[in-house]
Amino acid sequence: RAGNVVAVGYVRVVYGDHGAYVECRLDQVRWEHFEPRNLTAEYYDLYRAIPPGRAQVYLQKQGVQNRPNPPQGRDSKKHNRTEGYADYQPGLVYISVKQVTVRREGAATARTYNAPAKGKPHCDVLRAALRKIPGVTVPEALIRETRVLKDGKHRRFTRVPAEVLSP
């Protein structure tokens, strides 16, 4: 999203248990915008965009048919699939849809994934929703907390202090 063209064309979008990824052939990627980051991983080679770019591309070394669940991550879902958690193909490149803007030549607007707001904007949305409820005092201070869920992952939550909600 820094404005650099990271690929010209793509094969398909792969929807796996680790999120959606744009699949490209090697010749479609603009490699001059990337530098190697981790070439020792078992399943892929990782390349990161040269600053100010922030995209990461994964050059797949082998498929994940023997992996029923994806690695831990924000978008990971454990579905215990016997066929593997995604249809990644060796020799192809994968880029998260969250890291790129897809632009078609001649298109009026670009298509992109807009991640939900975090932090302060989230608090503003909560305050705006509370203002719509009759008789509710909108608190200036909201409580941000981190909880560990049953799956072992950490999640941040915003909540209204109990004293504001009690009559």
Banded pLDDT at 117 (limits 50, 70, 90): low
How many other CB atoms sit within 10 Å of the CB of residue 20?
15
Q: How far apart are CA 68 and CA 73, in angstroms?
A: 15
What beta strand segments (E) does 28-124 contain?
Answer: 34-38, 44-49, 56-60, 93-96, 101-102, 111-112
- Point out which residues pair with 19 in neighbouring strands: 16, 17
pLDDT given at position 44: 95
Name the residue with higher pLDDT: 56 or 124: 56
pLDDT, mean of residues 59-71: 94
Examine the pLDDT at 95 and tell me if it is beyond 80: yes
Q: Could you tell me the pTM of the whole model? A: 0.65
Give the closest residue to 7 by CA, choosing from 92, 72, 117, 113: 92
Examine the pLDDT at 10 and tell me if it is beyond 70: yes
Examine the pLDDT at 164 and tell me if it is beyond 70: no
Q: How far apart are CA 109 and CA 99, in angstroms?
A: 17
